[in-house]
Structure 1
Amino acid sequence: MRRELHAEWTKLRTTTGPGRLLLALVALTAAASAAAAATVSCPSAGCNYDVPKLSLIGVQLGQAIVAILAVLTISGEYGTGMIRTTLTAMPRRGAVLAAKAAILTGLTLVAGTVAVLGCVLAGRLILPGNGFTPAHGYPPLSLADGPTLRAAAGSVLYLVLIALFSLGVATVVRDSAVAIGVVFGLLYVFSILPFMIADPDWQRLLWDISPMNAGLSIQATVHLSSLPLSPWAGLGVLAAWAAAALLGGGLLLRQRDV
């Protein structure tokens, strides 16, 4: 698969769009977390915040950029017609999709790590000035703390899984606008459905299968017993969505003429 990897890396490296999206991922994710940290406060009477999760709230914005990058990785070629050239030069279609997924994973890992570190740094610098101090039970954010490290590392994995999920969806539908609409709908619209239904059993089910709600459970560090899903189980739900999307996309890619 070396040839496919080299080709996909060359495509991404020689176009300006992916680089700008990766920079936007880092900047906007950290900025959103900084803005959230600046707007909350912990009064002298105390408060009840999950500080690591609060500091990582920018991931909810960053995932949109990751989704757009992933969708354009393949649907952009369908839009320009370059996909025919790609599949003619590299007829092993499964290998082409795997190469796209591998390059996308590497880029998202790097940019996502920088973005998440920026979120943690923003929380560490801003929150103490808003009352989140050791006196109120909130020591400075540190990756040396096990739950905080798990939330941060899990957030990076979350972004990677969002990228793979979006790539799979884009491979299925092939159109950029439709693919982005489907991904955003499954992430953002699906996430609010549990709050629109009164039946508690349906609420729990919809929460458990929502890719965003379940996946972001990985950021929780307090009151874990009250969560519908444990942090790693929630991330597993998102992994299942990503695997299903990639499998469906791979099968359709092999069966279609293009």
Structure 2
Amino acid sequence: MNTLRSEWTKLRTSPGTVWLILCVVVTTAAVSVFASAVTTCPARGCALDPTKVSLTGVTLGQAVAAILGVLVVGTEYASGTMRLTLTATPRRLAVLAAKAVTVTAMMVVAAVPAVVVSLLAGRNLLPGNGFIAPDLGSEPVLRAAVGSVAYLTLIALLSLGIATLVRDSATAIGAVLALLYVFPIVALAVSDADFARHLKQVSPTNAGLAIQATQGLDDLPIGPWQGLGVLAAWAAGSLLLAGVLLTSRDA
């Protein structure tokens, strides 16, 4: 409990953390509002999923979530204070677990209003562009909303694990952003349809964002909850490996 309180205090009192949390909210909501305002649906029908259009900002907000997850541990390695942290708390796995809990709490606080604003904007703006407004009380839309909050949180946890592994903020941010943005580009560039589908099934971005789909689920490379499970596996794997290395090497 003392370790958790200590990590919470460090995050809560860091000006950079507060600004990043606000940036997650503003970036996600602003891009979503813009997408809902400018995306149009032809009168003869539209293949675009209005819920996914409403939640477009998540694809950019995830970059800020990733940076937040990296800096939670990366700044301590950069400043050398990680040695003090691990000296004060010899149980290193407890330190990592406390950081994961605080990151989760911070991201939920940021992601919930961002997703709510995004969906409200979609409901109000999309009908004027030829879409049927997302039914915010329907199970698919609620699943997309809850899943988007979980998605942003898992991205931050994945980033926390990678930053703990490499112990360098710049390297960790580069690695995470490559996973989030370069991996999907590679999947699009592959000419073999089956191989491209497999890449999308294991990509943390493609698989994880399947949770936002409310239409055409049979055409997705992976189901919504299965896709979020793939991202959860990425996050859990990075944290597990980070825990192993954190306990086995010098600070």
- The TM-score normalised by the length of structure 2 is 0.98
The structure 2 residue matched to 1:225, chosen from 210, 214, 218, is 218
CA distance in structure 1 between the partners assigned to 2:184 and 2:44 by the alignment: 33
Matches of 2:13 and 2:215 in 1, distance apart?
Answer: 44
Identity %, equivalent residues: 56
**TM-score in terms of structure 1 length:** 0.95
Whether 1:216 and 2:243 are equivalent positions in the alignment is: no
Distance in 2 (CA, whole Å) between partners of 1:13 and 1:227 is: 39
Measured in 2, the distance between the counterparts of 1:122 and 1:31 equals 10
Query: 1:54: how far off?
Result: 0.8
State the Cα distance separating 1:116 from its structure 2 match.
0.5
| Aligned pairs for 1:126-165 within 5 A | 126-132=125-131, 138=132, 140-165=133-158
Post-superposition offset of 1:45: 2.7
Structure-1 separation of matches of 2:66 and 2:5: 23
- Cα separation, 2, equivalents of 1:213 and 1:78: 31
Moved more, 211-220 or 37-46: 37-46
What's the counterpart of residue 236 of structure 2? 243
Q: Which runs of 4+ in 1 moved over 3 A?
A: none
- Cα deviation, residue 117, structure 1: 0.5
Structure 1 residue 38: Cα displacement: 1.5
Q: 1: CA distance between counterparts of 2:124 and 2:136?
A: 14
Question: Contact (CA 8 Å) 2:33, 2:118: kept in 1 or not?
Answer: yes
Q: What CA distance in whole angstroms lies between the structure 2 residues aligned with 1:175 and 1:72?
A: 9
Structure 1 residues 1-258: aligned runs within 5 Å: 2-132=1-131, 138=132, 140-258=133-251
Q: How well do the aligned residues superpose, as a CA RMSD in angstroms?
A: 1.0
5+ residue gaps, structure 1, are 133-137
Letter in 1 for 2:50: V
Deviation at 1:196, TM superposition (A): 1.0
CA-CA distance at 1:44 after TM superposition: 2.9
Aligned to 1:48, what secondary structure does the other structure show?
coil
8 Å CA contact 2:197–2:221 kept in 1: the answer is: yes
Q: Structure 2: give runs of 5+ residues left out of the alignment.
A: none
- Equivalent-residue separation in structure 2 for 1:257 and 1:158 (angstroms): 32
